[in-house]
Structure 1
Amino acid sequence: MTDKAQKLSNQQLKQFRSIAHNLKPVVTVAQNGLAESVMKEIDRALTQHELIKVKVQVGDRELRQQAITEICSLSGAERVQSIGNIAVLFRAARQPDPKLSNLLRHGQTGN
């Protein structure tokens, strides 16, 4: 889907967590797991918004962490934060849309 995710600095992680605080989850991963349609929706959301929240409602804590790790691996995104069943993911867009990118709308860049 994309190139290998770049490693975010601590400052970027802090900024991204701050921006994500007011975001709503755009995708929910339920008991059916990571179906192809769910991964396509996550990919679309990352391409448009760069920084997204995903709600992962699968089993216990260990299963949630495995699902989040798999999402990051398949999508090329980096986990910014995960609290409970909510994960914040980031993947820089090649050509971010200023109207859709959560980073550009908040005056940040992914670089």
Structure 2
Amino acid sequence: MLKGKQKRFLRAKAHHLAPIFQVGKGGVNENMVAQIDDVLKTRELIKISILQNCDFDKNEIARDLSKGARAELVQVIGNTIVLYKESKENKEIVLPS
């Protein structure tokens, strides 16, 4: 579980990132969760965009993605989700304590 200070740090790091996944009207599926999990192993911090035609609630999508990829939900702002997962092999981000 991330502390407030750590979430603020990750939000600042994620500000300049571009979303690399998009959730459309199909919603969240197993393939998408597996791909997000793979990307998180190398990048640690990613943004996911929710498209206008998505019929699902953005908070439910964020919860499903974070639970499926076993990642920490950093932020849901507008139609953008920020996820963080500490990488074992490619550790680049050092969180403040």
TM-score range, shorter chain: 0.7 to 0.9
Q: Which runs of 5+ in 1 are unaligned?
A: 1-6, 98-103
Q: What CA distance in whole angstroms lies between the structure 1 residues aligned with 2:17 and 2:62?
A: 18
| Runs of 4+ residues deviating >6 angstroms | none
- Tell me what 1:40 maps to: 34
TM-score by length of 1: 0.76
Q: Which runs of 5+ in 2 are unaligned?
A: none
TM-score by length of 2: 0.86
Matched, 1:59 2:55: yes
Select 2:80's aligned residue among 61, 81, 86.
Answer: 86
How far 1:45 moved relative to its partner? Answer: 1.4
Counterpart of 2:48 in 1: which secondary structure? strand
Q: What CA distance in whole angstroms lies between the structure 2 residues aligned with 1:91 and 1:34?
A: 18
Higher relative contact order (CA 8 A, sep 6+): 2
Aligned length: 94
Q: What CA distance in whole angstroms lies between the structure 2 residues aligned with 1:41 and 1:25?
A: 14
How far 1:36 moved relative to its partner? Answer: 2.4
- Is contact 1:80–1:88 with CA below 8 Å preserved after alignment? yes
How far 1:37 moved relative to its partner? Answer: 2.2
Taking only the aligned residue pairs, the percentage that are identical comes to 28
- Is contact 2:9–2:95 with CA below 8 Å preserved after alignment? no
- Tell me what 2:94 maps to: 109
CA distances 1:36-60 after superposition (whole Å, capped 9, x unpaired): 2211221111111001001123226
